[in-house]
Amino acid sequence: MKASDFGENFTWGVASAAFQVEGAWNIDGKAPSVWDAAAHRGRIEGGPVSDQAIDFYHRYAEDIALIASLGFKAKRLSLSWPRILGNGAGPQNAKGIDFYNRVIDCCLEHGIEPWVTLFHWDLPLELQRSGGFANRAIVDLFADYATVCARAFGDRVKHWMVFNEPNSVAGHLLIGAHERWGFHVRKMLRSVHHMNLAIAEAARRLRRDLPAGARIGTTIATMPLHPFDPTDAWRQRAQAAYDAVFHRIFVDPLGGLGYPWEATPLLRFLRSAVADADYDRLPFRFDFLGIQYYSPVHIHRAPIPGLWGVPSFWMNDAKPVVRCEVGWYANPPGLTRTLERYATHPIADRLVITENGIGVYDELRDGCVHDEIRIWYYRKHLELTLDAIRNGLPVDGYFCWSYADNVEWLFGLRPRLGLVYIDYEDGSKRYLKDSALWFRDFLRQ
């Protein structure tokens, strides 16, 4: 397998999110996000480690040069809504916009194409206080934010992703990550509908305000069930309910297929948030769908009305598996199943793997990190991606998560998913892991 086997128009990139790498959480006009608040409330392992993160805000030029040295030609980055619009509605923060202008220009100077994500979870705290995604008013506010970004950066950014993993955001809402811990099913499902409306409306604003030729996409976290036995009636019913709640309610409405009301009675809490006129506002034909795949899940029996089972990363048997630091286990064939499933979905014509990676127990020894498991993980997923392309699936690109170790949300600094090791004990000094060197050699072929 060589990089050239994927075709000359295939995009090779790395990805990161603003909250996880930038730091500078309260300077130059940036307002707090829900995740800043979570860090300062002790919700993140290790405390407010995101205040500094890996200091991309001040070291972006160093990091972009490092990415370029490895041979990647694209950098997926997210924009921080509270850095650009403070409380979420404005006024615009000129210093925040100037920062992203510098990052975008630096990428282009190094021959790296910036792929911009509008929203990667860092909701302005002020909007959360007024209901967040449970408040329908957020639909127009998010669309206005999209307009600001399109007009500020659209002359140089050609690839846009509206929303990062709405199903993950729903998971945070379900468990109360930004309020009291617990299960908030009704609020979560009402928020899902408003997220879908916001994604569709923001995408229409981007289409209106961006130059012709700009490509607009969005992303979905994919977690296929494994194994799935279609002859097992209980598992089949649990599969349908799980798939509806964790996947279909986020992609089917945007693809013009409506909500899968028949899959589970749990969705009655979502139906109450849907107005008749909303069905015409939901569909949007994206240029690409971002596939984000790490691991499949298993279903364990549980007496949950309407769901009939609980998804888990832990298996029932004692098979040896490659498991990452936060519990996910490696199952490369799950990527094939995912690509096959979404290749014909009406939400988009093309697929881009916008996140794929693994966190393992990296150790820095004499300036080196020997992460053979990560190399194995990437190689196996790339082999299956190439097979998918050869089998006619419309896959256009692949982004590693992530270019560097960073703040992995509730898990803090403990999980390391980067190609670059960050030495937090020594001023966040950067070291290339063996996996980074493997990619450098692979991309040079």
- Judging by beta carbons within 10 Å of its beta carbon (0-12, 13-18, 19+), is residue 128 exposed, middle or buried? buried
The runs of H, that is alpha helices, within 259-413 are 268-271, 278-281, 333-342, 372-390
- Judging by beta carbons within 10 Å of its beta carbon (0-12, 13-18, 19+), is residue 129 exposed, middle or buried? exposed
Q: Collapse the DSSP code of 431 into the 3-class scheme (helix H, G, I; strand E, B; otherwise coil) and give the result.
A: strand
Cα(111)–Cα(68) distance, integer angstroms:
7
13, β-bridge pairs: 74, 399
Question: The dihedral of CA 272, 225, 395, 149: what is its sign?
Answer: positive
Task: Give the pair of three-digit tokens for residue 273.
Answer: 């948030």
Q: Is the preceding peptide bond at 91 cis, omega within 30 degrees of 0?
A: yes
420-423 and 74-78 strand pairing: unpaired
Tell me which residues are annotated as active site. 165, 355
- How many helices (DSSP H) and strands (DSSP E) are in the chain? 16, 12
Is the CB of residue 240 less than 8 Å from the CB of residue 262? no
